[in-house]
Amino acid sequence: MSRTRSSSDQHIWSRACTWLTLGFICYAMPWSVFAAEPITVLRIQGSNTIGAKLGPALIKGLFEQQQLSNVRVENTAIENEQQVLGVDAKGRTLRIAIAAHGSSTGFTALLDGSADLAAASRPIKDSEVAALAAQGDMRSPAAEQVIAIDGLAMIVNPGNSLDSLTTDQLASIFSGQTQTWEQLGGKGGPIDLYARDDKSGTYDTFKELVLAAHGKSLASSAKRFESNDQLSDAVSSDKRGIGFTGLPSVRQSKALAIADGQSRAMPPSVTLIATEDYPLSRRLFFYLPPASTNSWAKALVEFAHSPAGQALVEKNGFISQTVQAVKVEPLAGMPANYMKLAKDAQRLSVNFRFKENSATLDNKAQRDINRLLDYLQTAGKKQHKVVLVGFGDPKSIPSRAALLSKLRAMAVHRELIRADVIVKEVIGMGDQLPVAANSADDGREKNRRVEVWVY
């Protein structure tokens, strides 16, 4: 054979040779048989809500944007673990591995070095921030990335006659205090409970927004699941069942409208989740340690924020952060100036919220300013077309609540002025039109918000 081979090639070639009793015969094996193992360029661990479909879809989109070929998503031998593969211009097969065993596992993996990026369906906890302090401030804008909005859907069997529940009723149901559907005005006898597992960010969110907020804990009788889809399928086949899941996993089940405190009952609709008004709305995160030097992790974060990435968010059943104008139906009981907005203007699908106990826009809001500016520029609404409406929680002096709500709207106003936007009006609504209960800190923080309306 005339082809010249290096010593390493010779070693590989020799593996295709067989010693026979009649001599040493080499078979002409294809070189592709000896292709190198894929190169792992990024390891992601954490939320099943993200890791089941959205994470792989975003990675696939990034690979295609980077012009890799033969891009594909493959399951591994381990349940809830996948890999996305693609071939780069040098002919190398690159791999991003994603393990989806619950949000808490992502932060543990960042700590022990077995992951480069954490996916979480709930905010990072104080204990996790402290544990990862050596890798930088995990609550900084560089670290905490809101990639999508999700609604925690409360689901029942399609034949269930109930259409809505309050968070107080949910807490009573899932703690085991309310045990029959008849106690809720329905039919069906004993209630069967379905819940996500302890490592799940979905469960953490439910525990925080429903159980802990009402001083309850989950009943031991609840059936636990690692997968949203499996839980939903179990509920849809159980006439007595009720459970909670991420919005894309409602599947064949029936989603209920939910009320919290003095808020009206709200269905998990696209607009109400996008604005985070729906009581059980939540943010989905990537957490990237500020000290990270992984270029693929940074590229994935930026792709997730891009219009192409947000289109994939929507395609996979979650709520994108792309700003859209929505017509709001005027309802009885709306304050007069708000009623006028509902009749004459359109509300944008973004609310601005603030860091805890602060007048500073939170990490999502800082990104949303740029999204809002892009919308206003494209729609030709930078001059005298925008109305900012601030809201807050009750104060002992009502005029103080009104003032604070207007100051929040002014904080957004200042950001828009820097981009040469001339705002038509800034309104402070005080503690009117709450979207959450004011009995707990989380509810009060949610009520401290700024809406954007356009003419």
Q: CB–CB of 207/193 below 8 Å?
A: no
Q: With cut-offs at 50, 70 and 90, classify the pLDDT of residue 13.
A: very low
pLDDT of residue 37 exceeding 80, the answer is yes
How many angstroms separate the CA atoms of 251 and 455, rounded?
A: 37
Q: Work out the number of other CB atoms within 10 angstroms of the CB of residue 262.
A: 15
Greater confidence (282 vs 21) lies with: 282
* Mean pLDDT of the region 370-399: 96
pLDDT band at 441 (very low <50, low <70, confident <90, very high): confident
CA distances from 419 to 125, 222, 415, 416 (A): 35, 52, 7, 5
How confident is the model over 7-35, as a mean pLDDT?
42
**Has residue 184 got a pLDDT over 70?**
yes
Check pLDDT > 80 for residue 29.
no
- Is the CATH number of domain 150-274 3.40.190.10? yes
Give yes or no for residue 87 having a pLDDT over 80.
yes
- The CB-side HSE value for 387 (13 A sphere, CA atoms) comes to 18
The arithmetic mean of pLDDT across residues 300-309, rounded, is: 98
pLDDT in tens, 157-167: 999 999 999 99
Helix (H) or strand (E) holding 31: none
Contacts of 57 (CB under 8 A, 6+ apart): 312, 315, 316
Task: Provide the pLDDT confidence category of residue 439 given band limits of 50, 70 and 90.
Answer: confident
Query: What mean pLDDT do residues 215-242 have?
Result: 97
In whole angstroms, what is the distance from residue 145 CA to residue 119 CA? 10
For residue 202, pLDDT beyond 70: yes
How confident is the model at residue 208, as a pLDDT? 86
- Of the candidates 162, 153, 129, the one whose C-alpha atom is nearest the C-alpha of residue 143 is 129
Look at residue 5 and tell me whether its pLDDT is greater than 90.
no
41-51 residue pLDDT tens: 999 999 999 99
Domain residue ranges in the chain: 150-274, 323-454
Tokens of 91: 């002919």
CB-side exposure of 342: number of CA atoms within 13 Å?
12
**Ranges of H-type helices in 164-251:** 167-174, 201-206, 228-236
Q: CB–CB of 181/162 below 8 Å?
A: yes
- Pairing outcome for strands 93-100 and 254-255: unpaired
141: burial class by Cβ within 10 Å (0-12, 13-18, 19+)? Answer: middle
**DSSP 8-state assignment for residue 452:** E
* pLDDT band at residue 281 using 50, 70 and 90 as cut-offs: very high
The predicted-structure confidence for 343-355, as pLDDT tens digits, reads as follows: 999 999 999 999 8
Query: What's the pLDDT at 35?
Result: 55
Residues 23-32, mean pLDDT to the nearest whole number: 44
Instruction: Give pLDDT, residue 22.
Output: 38
**Two tokens at 363?**
């990490």
At a CB cut-off of 8 Å and minimum separation 6, what does 309 contact?
58, 61, 147, 303
What is the pLDDT at residue 78?
96
CATH class of 323-454: alpha beta
Percent of the chain at pLDDT exceeding 90:
84
Phi, psi angles (nearest 5°) of residue 36: -70, 160
**pLDDT score, position 196:** 96
* Residue type, position 145, single letter: Q
Q: Which two tokens stand for residue 133?
A: 């302090």
The stretch 362-383 carries a mean pLDDT of 97
Q: What angle do CA 71, 77, 80 make, to 5 degrees?
A: 75
Say what the pLDDT of residue 371 is.
Answer: 97
Burial (0-12, 13-18, 19+ Cβ within 10 Å), 89: exposed
Nearest to 226, CA basis, from 43, 108, 55, 49: 49
Q: What pLDDT, on the 0 to 100 scale, is given for residue 277?
A: 95
End-to-end CA distance of the chain: 78
Residue 443 has a pLDDT of 86
Report the pLDDT averaged over residues 434-448. 88
Range of lowest pLDDT (105-109, 160-164, 268-272, 299-303): 268-272
Q: What is the pLDDT of residue 2?
A: 39
pLDDT band at 356 (very low <50, low <70, confident <90, very high): confident
Looking at residue 211, what DSSP letter applies? I
- The model's confidence at residue 110, banded by pLDDT at 50, 70 and 90, is very high
